[in-house]
Amino acid sequence: MKLVIRDLWFLLVFCLASQSLAFLPSRAGVTLPDTDYTLTEITEQGIVRAVAKYFEETNPDRYSPGDLTGLSPLTPSRLFRKHYGDCVYSTKFERAVEAISDANIDISNVYANKAVWHFNGNQINAGNRKMIGIRNTLLNTLTSGDENAPNYDTARRLSGQFLHMAQSFYSNTNWVELTNLLRNSAAGEDENEVMTARYLGIILNPMFPRESPEEADMCRNCEPFSTNSLLGPQDCSDNLVPFLVFLTSGYRSEQDVLKPAAPPGSVRGKCSHGGLHDASRTKIATGGINKESSDRQRSPHFHLHEQAALMAIQATEDFFYHPATGLYQHIGEQKFRQLLDLDKGTSLTFVIDVSGSMSDEINSVKEETIRLVRLHSETCLAASKYVVAPFSDPGYGPALVTTNAQRCIEYLSSLTAGSGGDCPELANSGLELGVQNSINGANVYLFTDASDKDGEKLPDVLALIEEKQVRVNYLLTGTCSSRRRRRAIDRSSLPPSYQIIAEASGGEIYQTDNRGISDLVRIIEGDIRASQVTITQRSSLNLNAVNINIPVDSTIQEVLVSVVGILSGDSVIIEHPSGTEGTPAELRAAVYTNSAEQIVFSINVTEPDTKGAWVVKLRNLNLATEYYIKVSANSVLDFTFDILETDETGTAYPVDGKPVAGAEVLLTVQVSAPETVSSVSEIKLYNANGNEMLVTASATPVMGRTEGLFIANISLPNEPFFVSIVGEDTQGMEFLRTQPSEIKVVEFKLEEVLGSNTVDDLVPGGNSSFAFRVTNNGPSDRMTVTVSVLDTAVNSSASTLADVSGPVVTAAVKPAIMVLGTGDMGDGLVIVTAAKDAPAGTSVKVTLSVESSLSLALNFLSIDATVFAVENDTYENPDENDDTPPSCEILSSGGGCTAQQMSSNCHEHEWWVRAQATDNSILTEVVPDSEIENNGTGKQLFVYERFLPTNMTLKYSATCCCPIMKFTVRDGAGNQASCGQDYYTAVAGEVEKPQCNGPVLESLDDNIPPTCRVLSTGGGCTAEQMSSDCHKHEWWVLARATDNSNVTVVVLDPEIEIDGTGKQWLVYENILPANVTFGYSATCCCPIMNFTVHDGAGNQASCGQDYYTALAGEVEKPQCNGPLLTGTGPSTGVIVGIAVGSLAALVIMGAVVFFVAKHLFGVGGKATHDLTQMNDYSNSCELLSYNKPNVTTDDSPHEMGSGNAGCATSMTGFDLENTLE
C-alpha cells in the first residue's frame, strides 16, 4: 500500500500542524485485534523507519531510496544486518528503543489521572505547551558540550514522554476527523495520505485549528445500535457536530479535568474519551471519540484506529528525522547516533581504584587495559565508547568518556596511585559514575584491592544497574578483611555489596594478585569476543563431577566457557557434537587463562559440524569448593524479559520495586532477531545457583505487529532466581538463552501510589512529591525508609579527582520508620525540592529504599525527575482584538430545481453551489442552513475543496427536496458573515417556502389513479381446508401496483388477528417509485384479500383475490380469524400471527427482517404499509435485526422469488414465535 506523507501545517504562523488513555501500552494482559497498533509498536516502527531513512540518505553511494525503508518487515535486526553485516548486532539499538518506549508507556501508568499528558479533556493548548517544554529541555540536554557530554538516558526518557503526548494527540483528539474533511473533498487526494501536525509541540501559538472554546459543544449523542449485541452499545461514527472547525478531545472519568454537564434533554455536549472503562461515556454527549483500538468496545471511533496509528508512526519518525524539525537537524549526526546507539560495538568501561594501596597493581592494570583497548580498535569488535572512572578516598571521578581509542590510552597512561592510603574506598561512587556513562547492556570492569566504604550508595547503584542492564565484573587483588596477595578462592571475605551487585547484574567476581592481572584481562578479551549472550550459568558444591549441556544453535559463532574453582589438569573435558572428547587445548579451543583456580576458553563453532549438543564435563572436583560455571556466546539471538502486573482494566505494567515472593504475575519475553526463531517452548526460572529449576511455564506467542513476543502466567518462587528460555531456531536446532541477572524477591511490596505523582511539575525553587505504599506479606517487621538523589549529569570534563558536592535537587521522606504487622499497609510521602538556582534541565534519579530489620532484604524504586523552566500558563487569545468579520461569497452553482422536480420525486433531482469563505485571521465555522433530516426524501453533501486557516472553498449539493441554502461563516473572534443560494421556484398559491424535509409539493396536477393488478395465484382453499385445521393450509397471490409518479401506500384488508389460527405474509419482489410488485400468502382461515394502493396525490385503486368457496346455508363470508367450518383437527394453532403494534415481519428474498412502518398491520384495522417511510427506493427497508434460520416446514411461507429490496438476507425459513419474543 502506497502511503503519501503530508505535514498539515499551512502557514508558519498557524502551525500546529491506568488504563488505556491513548493507544494501549502493549499487548501484555489484553486481547487486541492482531492488526491493532500499541504505543510500543508505534514507537518502534517510527524509530526504525527514521534510522532506515538516515542510513539511506547518509550513504547515497550504497543505497537507493527504499533499499532499507522498504525492507519487509522492517525490524531492528533486519536493518542492522543489511547495513552492517553479521559483525554488528542490533542489541544496543533495541535497548535504546526499549528505553524510549518504556518512558512512553510509563506515562500511561504514572500520570493516568492527568488529562494534559494524554490530550484528554480538551487540553489542546495546555498539551502543546507541555510538549514544547519537554522538547526544549531535551534540546538543552542534547546540545550542551560535545557528543560525550549529554546524558543520553535522560534524553531517551524525555523523548519517550514527548512521543507519548504526540501519539496520544492522534488517538484522542479529532485531528484525524478534521483532516478527513480535506482528504474526502479535494479531487485527486490520495486516500492513503498521512497528514501530521508537524509543528505540534514545537510552536506555541496561534494554532490551527483552534482549541474548541468553552461554549462550543463538539459532540452529539451517539446513536444506539440494534438489539444485536455483537454490534456493541452505540454507533459513534457520526457523533462529532459537523461544520465546526475546532480541535477538541474527549473527557475521561477519574481524571483531573471533569466533563462539563450538558443541559438536561440536550443531545449535544462535550465529547467523552469513551470506551468500556470511561464512565463519562454515559453523560451527554454520550459515547466518545478515541481511536486507541479497532475494537469498538474500547474505541467509539474504532474505524479510524489505523489512520490515527499511521499518523502517530509518521510523527514518531519525524520527531527524530524530519528535514526541518527532526532531532537529527538540531543535534548533529554524532549525538543522533549516540542517542539511538547506532555505532558499532558497545562501551568499554574501566572503574579503577587509584588509592595509595594500589601502587603495586596500578602499572599492571594500566598496561593490560591499554593492551585491551589497542587489541580491537581497528576491528568491528572495537568499542564505540570508552569510559574510565577513577576512585579513591575521599574523592572519585570525573569520568573520561570518549569515542577516541588513543584519547583513552593517553588517559589510562596518566593514572597514578597516590591519595587515600587507608581502607576502604569509595568504590560504589566510582562504579556509579562508570555505569552512568556506559551504554545500556555493556560490561563494566572494576579493579580494586579494597572494600567499599560508601554502602549507602548501594540502592542507587542497584537502581542504575537495573535501568541500564549492565553487567558488573570485579577484578580484585584484595579486600580490607584480607589484604594478602593470593590467588585462592575465598568468597567469605568478599564485601557483601560486591556480591549483591555482581549477582544483581549477572556479573562475576575474580580474585587474583598482581601477577594474575594479565590473566584476568584475558578474560575481558574473551568477553569482548563472545559474551553478547549467556547460554547457561550455574554453581556447584559437594559434587565430584558435573556435566554442563551446551546446545549450539545455528546463530552462534563462538562459545566462551568460564570455570572458577580449584582445578587439576584433567578437571575440564569437553565433548564435541560428534562424540569426540578432549581437553580444551586438544579440541583446539582458544584458552585465555588456565590456572589452578580458573580456566576461560572459547570454541569457534562457525563450521556446520560444530553445531549441536556440546558438553562441558567437570571431573575430580574438590567437594569443599564451590565452582562457578558460565557459558556465553557470540550470537544475534537473545532476549529480554519483564515482570508485569495488571490493573483493573487488564492492562499490564512493570511491577514497582522488587517483586513479591509468591505473587501471580505476567512474564513477557521479547526475542531479538525474531526472524531466526521458529518457536519459544518454555520459560524457566532457576534458583540462584542454577542447579534447581523452580518454575517451568509454557511460552505463549503474542499475536500482533511485534515479532518474537511471548508471555506466560507465573507464580513467583520464594527465593532468588534467574530466567532462561528454550526454543527452536529456524534451522530446527534447539537453542537455550539465559539472562544472568539475579532477581531477588521480597516479602514486602513497595509501590508508588498512582495519581499522587507531581514530579513532572518540578521547577526551580519549587517542590513536588509522590506517595508510596508498603504492604508487608511477611512477619511483623520494623522497616527503615530512606531516600537518596543521584544527579544524572555526566561528569566527564576534568582529569583530576573531584570532591563530592551536594546536589541542587534534594529529597526527604516521611516516615523514616514503618512498623508493620503481617498483612499491614503503610503509606508515606517523598518530597522533592529544587534549589532556586537549579538550572532548567537538571535531571536526577530519586531512589526510595525500604530495608527490613529481620534480614538483608532491600526493596527500592526510582523516580526520574527533571527541573523544567517556569512556563507562562496564561493562554493569550490571538483573536481577542479581531473585529473584522469574515467574508462569504457564492462562486458558482448549477442543477437548478423546477416545480415538477420539487414534487414527490424530488429526491431524484439535485442542485449544487460552490462558495468561498475567507478571513484575515482564522475561520472556525462554516455552517449550512437548513440541514436535511435523514428520512429518505433528500440528501446533502458538503465537501471542502480548500481547507486553509484563512481561506476555505466548499461545494454543497442537495436534492430538490430542499432547493435553498444559506451558509453562515464565523471566525475565531465570533465575527460572522452569510451567503446563500435559492433554487426554490415559487408555485403561487400552493407553498411559500420549501420545508426541506420532504417533497416541497405533494403533487402537481396529478389526478391519474394508480393501477392494481393480480398477476398470478396458487394454493386455493377447499371446504375441508377451511375447517378447524385451516391453519395447516395456505394460498397465495402475486400482485403489481403502478403509478405515473409514485406509489406511496399499500393497504391489506382484512387483517388477521393473533389468535393462533392464521398467519399472513407480505413479500416484496420489486420496489421502485412507480412500480411495486408484491406477493401475499395466508392460511385457509382467511381465504380472501383485497389490496388498496395510493399514490402521492391520494389517488387509489384496488385489486384482490377470493378463494372462499361458498357453502350454502352454512356461512356467507369468511370471518378471517378462526375456522370457517366446524370440523376435525386441533382446536388451537401453534403459529403466532404477524402483526404486533407498529412492528411487522416482512419477508424479502426468503428472509425475515423487521422494519418500522407507520401503523403497519395495525390491530383491529387495515394493515397499511406506508412506502414513503422507507429511507429510499433502492434500499426499501431499514434492517434492524434478523433472526436465525429455522428448518423449513410445511408451515413455511410460499417462496415468492428473489426480490430486490436492499436489506434482504438469504434465509428460507425461520421461527416466527422466537422472533417476536
CATH of the domain at 543: 2.60.120.380
User: Over 60: is that where the pLDDT of 1031 sits?
Assistant: yes
Q: How far apart, in whole angstroms, are the C-alpha atoms of residue 80 and residue 1057?
A: 78
In the three-class reduction of DSSP (H, G, I as helix; E, B as strand; rest coil), residue 804 is classed as coil
How does the average pLDDT of the chain come out, rounded?
Answer: 82
Where does residue 421 fall: left (phi above 0), alpha (psi -120 to 50 degrees), or beta otherwise?
alpha
**Mean pLDDT calculated for residue range 403-412:** 94
In the three-class reduction of DSSP (H, G, I as helix; E, B as strand; rest coil), residue 1003 is classed as coil
Range in 206-210, 601-605, 1008-1012 with the lowest mean pLDDT: 206-210
What pLDDT is attached to residue 671?
96
Task: Show which of 633, 657, 690 is a domain's final residue.
Answer: 633
> pLDDT tier at 1024 (50, 70, 90 boundaries)?
confident
Residues 508 and 569 in one domain: no
876 within domain boundaries: no
Measured in degrees and rounded to the nearest 5, phi and psi for residue 306 equal -65, -40
> pLDDT tier at 797 (50, 70, 90 boundaries)?
very low
Most distant CA pair in the chain, distance: 136
Q: How far apart, in whole angstroms, are the C-alpha atoms of residue 1066 and residue 1046?
A: 20
CA 803 and chain centroid, separation: 46
Range in 311-315, 647-651, 970-974 with the lowest mean pLDDT: 647-651
Q: Can you read off the three cell numbers belonging to residue 944?
A: 471542502
Do 502 and 469 form a contact (C-beta atoms < 8 A)? Answer: no
Residues 207 and 315 in one domain: yes
Domain that residue 551 falls in: 532-633
In the three-class reduction of DSSP (H, G, I as helix; E, B as strand; rest coil), residue 1080 is classed as strand
Range in 836-845, 899-908, 951-960 with the lowest mean pLDDT: 899-908
What pLDDT is attached to residue 112?
92
Where does residue 1043 fall: left (phi above 0), alpha (psi -120 to 50 degrees), or beta otherwise?
beta
> pLDDT tier at 598 (50, 70, 90 boundaries)?
confident
Do 1023 and 1038 form a contact (C-beta atoms < 8 A)? Answer: no
Q: How far apart, in whole angstroms, are the C-alpha atoms of residue 1161 and residue 1140?
A: 8
What pLDDT is attached to residue 18?
45
Residues 6+ apart with CB under 8 A from 1077: 1015, 1038, 1039, 1040, 1041, 1068, 1069, 1070
> pLDDT tier at 1094 (50, 70, 90 boundaries)?
confident
CATH of the domain at 848: 2.60.40.2310
Q: How far apart, in whole angstroms, are the C-alpha atoms of residue 1036 and residue 1019?
A: 6
> pLDDT tier at 345 (50, 70, 90 boundaries)?
confident
Do 367 and 395 form a contact (C-beta atoms < 8 A)? Answer: no
Q: How far apart, in whole angstroms, are the C-alpha atoms of residue 354 and residue 170?
A: 54
User: Over 80: is that where the pLDDT of 1131 sits?
Assistant: no
What pLDDT is attached to residue 991?
62
What pLDDT is attached to residue 302?
95
Put the strands of the sheet holding 767-776 in their side by side order: 748-752, 767-776, 825-834, 809-814
| pTM listed for this prediction | 0.78
Higher pLDDT among residues 404 and 988, named by residue = 404
Q: Can you read off the three cell numbers belonging to residue 931?
A: 440541514
> pLDDT tier at 1188 (50, 70, 90 boundaries)?
very low
Higher pLDDT among residues 227 and 1203, named by residue = 227
Q: How far apart, in whole angstroms, are the C-alpha atoms of residue 381 and residue 847?
A: 35
Q: pLDDT for 641-680, tens place per residue?
A: 999 998 877 888 999 999 999 999 999 999 999 999 999 9
Range in 887-891, 1050-1054, 1100-1104, 1166-1170 with the lowest mean pLDDT: 1166-1170
Residues 164 and 289 in one domain: yes
Please say whether the dihedral angle defined by the alpha carbons of residues 378, 64, 97 and 670, taken in this order, is positive or negative.
negative
Do 102 and 40 form a contact (C-beta atoms < 8 A)? Answer: no
**Mean pLDDT calculated for residue range 832-839:** 93
What pLDDT is attached to residue 795?
55
Q: How far apart, in whole angstroms, are the C-alpha atoms of residue 880 and residue 898?
A: 46
User: Over 90: is that where the pLDDT of 931 sits?
Assistant: no
CATH of the domain at 937: 2.60.40
Q: pLDDT for 1034-1049, tens place per residue?
A: 888 999 998 876 777 8
Range in 609-613, 793-797, 1149-1153 with the lowest mean pLDDT: 1149-1153
Residues 304 and 439 in one domain: no
Percent of the chain past pLDDT 70, that is, above it, reads: 81
**Mean pLDDT calculated for residue range 1009-1015:** 92
Please say whether the dihedral angle defined by the alpha carbons of residues 924, 926, 932 and 938, taken in this order, is positive or negative.
negative
Task: Show which of 607, 633, 659 is a domain's final residue.
Answer: 633
User: Over 60: is that where the pLDDT of 831 sits?
Assistant: yes
Residues 305 and 360 in one domain: no
DSSP code string of 237-305:
TT-BPTTB-EE-B-B-TTSSSPPPPPPTT-SEEPPB--STT-GGGGSSSPS----S-S-TTT-TTGGGH
Q: How far apart, in whole angstroms, are the C-alpha atoms of residue 1032 and residue 391?
A: 102
User: Over 50: is that where the pLDDT of 1157 sits?
Assistant: no
Residues 900 and 939 in one domain: yes
Please provide the distance, in angstroms rounded to a whole number, between the alpha carbons at the two ends of the chain.
Answer: 48
User: Over 50: is that where the pLDDT of 1092 sits?
Assistant: yes
Range in 348-352, 595-599, 842-846, 1164-1168 with the lowest mean pLDDT: 1164-1168
Cis peptide before 263 (omega within 30 of 0): no
Q: How far apart, in whole angstroms, are the C-alpha atoms of residue 317 and residue 328?
A: 11
Q: pLDDT for 107-161, tens place per residue?
A: 999 999 999 999 999 999 999 999 999 999 999 999 988 888 899 999 999 999 9
Nearest CA to 420 out of 396, 400, 398 is that of 396
What pLDDT is attached to residue 879?
81
Q: How far apart, in whole angstroms, are the C-alpha atoms of residue 756 and residue 114?
A: 10
Q: Which amino acid is at 218?
A: M
Per the structure, the count of domains in the chain is 7
**Mean pLDDT calculated for residue range 995-1004:** 60
882 within domain boundaries: no
What pLDDT is attached to residue 402?
93
Neighbours of 1149 (CB within 10 A): 21
Residues 596 and 629 in one domain: yes
Do 1035 and 1081 form a contact (C-beta atoms < 8 A)? Answer: yes
Q: Which residue has the cell 583497548?
A: 373
Q: b/e string for 84-122 if b means 16 or more Cβ within 10 A?
A: eeeebbbbbbbbbbbbbbbbbbbbbbbbbbbbbbbbbbb
DSSP code string of 1169-1217:
EEGGGSS-SSS-S-----PPB----TTSPP-------TT----S-B-HH
> pLDDT tier at 997 (50, 70, 90 boundaries)?
low
∠ Cα 853 859 865 (to 5°): 130
Residues 46 and 79 in one domain: yes
877 within domain boundaries: no
Residues 10 and 141 in one domain: yes
1156 within domain boundaries: yes
Q: How far apart, in whole angstroms, are the C-alpha atoms of residue 150 and residue 794?
A: 7
Q: Which amino acid is at 212?
A: S
* C-beta pairs of 1030-1033 under 8 Å, 24+ apart in sequence: 1030/1061, 1030/1062, 1030/1083, 1030/1084, 1030/1085, 1030/1123, 1030/1124, 1031/1060, 1031/1061, 1031/1062, 1031/1063, 1031/1083, 1031/1084, 1031/1085, 1031/1133, 1031/1135, 1032/1083, 1032/1129, 1032/1194, 1032/1195, 1033/1083, 1033/1084
Higher pLDDT among residues 992 and 49, named by residue = 49
Do 21 and 112 form a contact (C-beta atoms < 8 A)? Answer: yes
Q: Which residue has the cell 483532516?
A: 179
Q: Which residue has the cell 528454550?
A: 726
Percent of the chain past pLDDT 90, that is, above it, reads: 54
1060 within domain boundaries: yes
Task: Show which of 530, 564, 583 is a domain's final residue.
Answer: 530
Residues 1032 and 1146 in one domain: yes
Residues 332 and 351 in one domain: no
Q: How far apart, in whole angstroms, are the C-alpha atoms of residue 119 and residue 168?
A: 6
Torsion of CA 601, 606, 609, 611, to 10 degrees: 70
988 within domain boundaries: no
Do 958 and 934 form a contact (C-beta atoms < 8 A)? Answer: no
CA 221 and chain centroid, separation: 27
32 within domain boundaries: no
Do 748 and 781 form a contact (C-beta atoms < 8 A)? Answer: yes
997 within domain boundaries: no
CATH of the domain at 429: 3.40.50.410
Range in 203-212, 214-223, 578-587, 943-952 with the lowest mean pLDDT: 203-212
Q: How far apart, in whole angstroms, are the C-alpha atoms of residue 195 and residue 119?
A: 18
CATH of the domain at 646: 2.60.40.10
User: Over 80: is that where the pLDDT of 1183 sits?
Assistant: no
What pLDDT is attached to residue 916?
95
> pLDDT tier at 468 (50, 70, 90 boundaries)?
very high
DSSP code string of 31-63:
---TT---HHHHHHHHHHHHHHHHHHHH-TTT-
User: Over 70: is that where the pLDDT of 1058 sits?
Assistant: no
Q: How far apart, in whole angstroms, are the C-alpha atoms of residue 34 and residue 51?
A: 25
What pLDDT is attached to residue 130?
95
Neighbours of 799 (CB within 10 A): 10
What pLDDT is attached to residue 843?
92
Q: Which amino acid is at 24?
A: L
> pLDDT tier at 225 (50, 70, 90 boundaries)?
low
Residues 6+ apart with CB under 8 A from 712: 666, 667, 669, 683, 697, 698, 699, 700
Range in 71-85, 87-101, 692-706, 1157-1171 with the lowest mean pLDDT: 1157-1171
What pLDDT is attached to residue 908?
83
Would you call 945 exposed, middle or buried from its count of C-beta atoms within 10 A (0-12, 13-18, 19+)?
middle
What pLDDT is attached to residue 532?
78
Residues 1020 and 1072 in one domain: yes
What pLDDT is attached to residue 326?
97
Higher pLDDT among residues 227 and 412, named by residue = 412
Continuous segment of H or E residues that includes residue 158: helix 152-172
DSSP code string of 708-732:
TEEEEEEEPPSS-EEEEEEEEETTS
Higher pLDDT among residues 1184 and 787, named by residue = 787
Range in 493-502, 749-758, 911-920, 1144-1153 with the lowest mean pLDDT: 1144-1153
Higher pLDDT among residues 41 and 376, named by residue = 41
Do 425 and 433 form a contact (C-beta atoms < 8 A)? Answer: no
